[in-house]
Amino acid sequence: MQVNFFESGVEDAPDLNLHMCFCGNSGTGKTEVVRILSRILYETGVLPETKLTETDSQGLISKYVGDTASKTLAKTHILSKKSRNLH
């Protein structure tokens, strides 16, 4: 598992990709699971902070054909910029 590379402090460890999608009906505990997971990843040193960014389909999908990609890229660019500022 790639996390083992991160924990061992290996300088040339492969990039860690933790993209995740939690799907399910309302009220099934998705957000709570993500909050717990973020605390675990923070406490093990994988994440620099426990901050989460939540969005829904309205935050990613446009109402106009062909505009969804730009809206999604804008959201991920904001997250990427925040991530770079942490280092």
User: What are the tens digits of pLDDT across the range 63-86?
Assistant: 888 888 888 877 776 656 655 554
The answer to whether the predicted template modeling score (pTM) of the entire model surpasses 0.75 is no
pLDDT of residue 2: 47
The Cα 14–Cα 25 span in angstroms is: 34
Low-confidence ranges of the chain (pLDDT < 50): 1-2, 86-87
pLDDT attached to residue 46: 82
Q: Alpha-carbon distance 42 to 68, whole Å?
A: 31
